[in-house]
Amino acid sequence: MESSVQSMSQTTDGAFRFSNGYTADRLISIRHEMEYLNTIGKRFVAAIDRFHVHRALLKALKEIYSFSACCILLKDNTFEKENPFELFIIPCYPLDETFLESIIQRIASAASALNLIHTTADQLARTAYFDAPDDLALSRPQGEVVGSEIGSFLNIPLTVENRIIGMLSLFDEKLGTFDADLMQMTTMIADYAAIALENVRLHERENALWRQAELERMRLSLILGSMAEGLLITDAKGAITSLNTSAEQLLAQAQVNFSPDILLHKLAGTSNVQWISRLAEIVDQALAGYTVKNQELVAGQAEERVPLTLSVSAAPLLDASGTSARPVGVVAVLNDITPSKQVERLKDEFVSVVSHELRTPLTAIKGYTQHLVRRIERRLRKTRSSQPEGSTAVNDLPENYDLRSLNIVQSQTEHLERLVSDLLDLSQVQWGQLQLRSETFYLADLLVDMVHSVQSSAEQHTISLQIKARETKVIADRARIGQVVGNILDNAVKYSPYGGQVIVRLKQQDGYYQVSISDQGLGVSPELFDHIFERFYRVHNTATRQLSGIGLGLYVAKAIIERHGGRIWLSSNQGVGSTFHFTLPPSPPQ
Amino acid sequence: MLPRHENSSSVSSEQVTEAYLKVIGLIDERVAPYLGKATTRALVQGAAQHIKAAYPFLEFLVHRSYTDIVPSVIHEQLSGVAPADVVGGLNALLDECFAGLRELTGDLIAPPLHDEVTHQLKQLQ
């Protein structure tokens, strides 16, 4: 470029000059250069793949040079590639093998000088591509002798935004093919090629990423489709946007038509199916940012023996870009837990039947044991009265041993009776058949009775009662409330193996009676508070391992208190003891 | 082979390095219009890569553009290196740069530039 400008200046020196200082010839020259650059620029812009770029490059170079080979070395930073470079050779056929080896050697040296890649000529040769577009294939003039040595060469860095991405190399067997005057023009063409090649590379990478994303999407779709669990996805408004096959099947069983894009709330409002409202609530909770776990929904008909029951867990879907803290939707997993409900039902029925069946023989055992105890006691009294005063012979009678054995039988029978009673209560709670026999009584009196009763069998403990309520009249099931207090007191004694103080407090608060029972025993970890009222739940640690129980007492107590319209909870500090509280309204709810 | 900076015993490593950086700046000025702005930077990095075994104290030039070399960097990298060694290393670096330039363009640019650089180095001595 510069050379042509200079030559034109020399030949037209002294000619008319425009206001910008250029002569008319110079302006014509600039126009021609711009037109030329515009033409080759368009060729590069139109290139959609690297072969189009090679074609545009070759065409532009052939317009200014005659050469034997054009090579393009590209550095590739893609990590998964074995070779971090690609070499394309566009030779003029035929090409001497020695000449070819020489040009590859020179490319390796030039690339090393530019700190572009450091590799051997052999390695470059192994990975080289020979590319020659048919219509632009370099061909020698007829009769031209094929040379074996490099006469001229030019290596120009391919630069994009001041970053060297590769190198353009031109070779010829003749001497003096390339000159400094045309080097700037060649560099300009190389710059065009570099940008076009970088664009192609970005386009290829984009395509590869798109293909990868598409494959991932298909894979995910297959996984979701083959999941046994139902998957339901909503948008930010709570409208279902996607359901997998399992979810469709589950919801079809529930005979609800979930059309896409219908708001769950709207569906709940128009449908008489109750559980949809609950599902809408769960989705709302997740949309508020909460994760909801294992919520049971009875989706089948209530009159069925074991209706279709779903366990629903839902979590907020956050924007992957992280730009918004507000969920963009909800993902909910639906599990059909009907089979486990069936098993549970069978188990409950079994427990109920067995408990009932056990009660009859237990009553007989208890009755006959009592009868035997009384008979032996009578016989001993009789014997004792016939003995002289102060005689110890009666203590050695076999009846005394029998009496001790019968007392053990009696005590174990009572224990068994309590267990059976708990199991029967469990059945009643499970089936929703817990019957209450309400009567009017004074809660303070009941607490006094219970404290005396438990204290009589807890010699290591001091049980005290603090009543801070003027009026303690209540309408409730006295026996059931007594069962609750007795259960908590029994636990307080059982889980305080080294004795200590147990305090029962009664007060009135917010129109309710509140009973609190504190002990100084082992306590319960706060993370177990939610589980302690579950059925068959027992705290497992070294300290409690020796203590008997089946974990039903508190479950039944909770059911009794809730049936009365009260609430039961636990506050505790491990190692300092536990405090159980329950509230009771003065009269049961209507 | 470029002339050695002979007053190396009386000047510090920092002064020597700054003088050579000026010379490299001159090369850049001449090469950039022909081969683009990034070429000299890459040639210096390539040259540093080639001589790092003989002059390990110049290895920092492999990963850093020579244009980023400010006095504090020179002080940090070359403290404790004898000025004579620094001169030796920088001379080798310049020789490698010219060798690299010849690998790229043969004798199209290198010979007149080599003369100019030799002249400037002499002036700096």
pLDDT at A311 over 60: yes
Give the tens place of pLDDT for each residue, A494-543: 888 888 899 999 999 989 999 999 998 888 877 777 788 887 777 666 55
Is residue A177 within 8 Å of residue A151, measured between CB atoms? Answer: yes
Give A167-236 as a DSSP string: EEEEEESSTT---HHHHHHHHHHHHHHHHHHHHHHHHHHHHHHHHHHHHHHHHHHHHHHH-SSEEEEEET
pLDDT at A320: 77
Distance CA B97, CA B103 (A): 10
Considering only CA atoms, which of A133, A132, A122, A131 is closest in space to residue A83?
A122
pLDDT at A574: 57
> What angle do helix axes A443-456 and A478-494 make, rounded to 10 degrees?
40
Range(s) of the domain holding residue B78: 6-124
pLDDT at A3 over 70: no
For residue A151, the distance in angstroms to the closest alpha carbon of chain B comes to 10
> What end-to-end distance do the CA atoms of chain B give, in Å?
16
Name the band, by pLDDT with cuts 50, 70 and 90, for residue A545.
low
**Class of A230-336 in CATH:** alpha beta
Distance CA A269, CA A280 (A): 10
Residue in the block written with tokens 């309400």: A438
Name the band, by pLDDT with cuts 50, 70 and 90, for residue A263.
confident
pLDDT at A482: 93
- Evaluate whether the domain defined by A47-205 bears CATH number 3.30.450.20: no
pLDDT at A4 over 50: no
Report yes or no on B1 lying in a domain. no
**Contact residues, chain B, for A187 at CB < 8 Å:** 34-36
Torsion region of A238: left, alpha or beta (phi above 0 gives left; psi -120 to 50 gives alpha):
left
Q: Do B108 and A154 touch (CB under 8 A)?
A: yes
pLDDT at A292: 93
- Hey, what amino acid is at B19? A
**Contact residues, chain A, for B35 at CB < 8 Å:** 156-157, 183, 187
User: Three-state SS for A329?
Assistant: strand
pLDDT at A307: 84
Report yes or no on B59 lying in a domain. yes
Give the tens place of pLDDT for each residue, A148-181: 889 999 999 999 998 999 999 999 988 989 988 8
Q: Do B42 and A109 touch (CB under 8 A)?
A: no
Three-state SS string over A113-130 comes to HCCCCCCCHHHHHHHEEE
**Contact residues, chain A, for B101 at CB < 8 Å:** 113
pLDDT at A1 over 50: no
Report yes or no on B30 lying in a domain. yes
Chain-centre distance of CA A561, in angstroms?
A: 37
Distance CA B20, CA B42 (A): 16
Q: Do A157 and B109 touch (CB under 8 A)?
A: no
Name the band, by pLDDT with cuts 50, 70 and 90, for residue A547.
low
Name the band, by pLDDT with cuts 50, 70 and 90, for residue A140.
low
Give the tens place of pLDDT for each residue, B59-103: 999 999 998 888 888 888 888 888 889 999 999 999 999 999 999
Give the tens place of pLDDT for each residue, A349-397: 888 888 888 888 889 999 999 999 999 999 888 888 887 777 776 677 7
pLDDT at A180: 86
**Class of A439-584 in CATH:** alpha beta
pLDDT at A278 over 60: yes
Q: Do A115 and B42 touch (CB under 8 A)?
A: yes
Q: Across residues A233-245, what is the average pLDDT? A: 89
Give the tens place of pLDDT for each residue, A108-117: 999 999 999 8
Report yes or no on B51 lying in a domain. yes
Q: Where are the domains of chain A?
A: 47-205, 230-336, 342-430, 439-584
pLDDT at A190 over 60: yes
Name the band, by pLDDT with cuts 50, 70 and 90, for residue B117.
very high
Name the band, by pLDDT with cuts 50, 70 and 90, for residue A259.
confident
Q: Do A115 and B103 touch (CB under 8 A)?
A: no
Evaluate whether ipTM surpasses 0.95: no
Summary count for chain B: helices (H), strands (E): 6, 0
pLDDT at A12 over 50: no
Report yes or no on B100 lying in a domain. yes
In the numeric block, which tokens belong to residue A38?
Answer: 């515009």
Q: Across residues B26-35, what is the average pLDDT? A: 93
Q: Which fold has domain A342-430?
A: Helix Hairpins (1.10.287)
Q: How many domains does chain B have?
A: 1
Is residue A286 within 8 Å of residue A332, measured between CB atoms? Answer: yes
Report yes or no on B16 lying in a domain. yes
For residue B19, the distance in angstroms to the closest alpha carbon of chain A comes to 23
pLDDT at A78: 65
Distance CA B100, CA B31 (A): 12
* A230-336 has the same fold as A47-205: yes
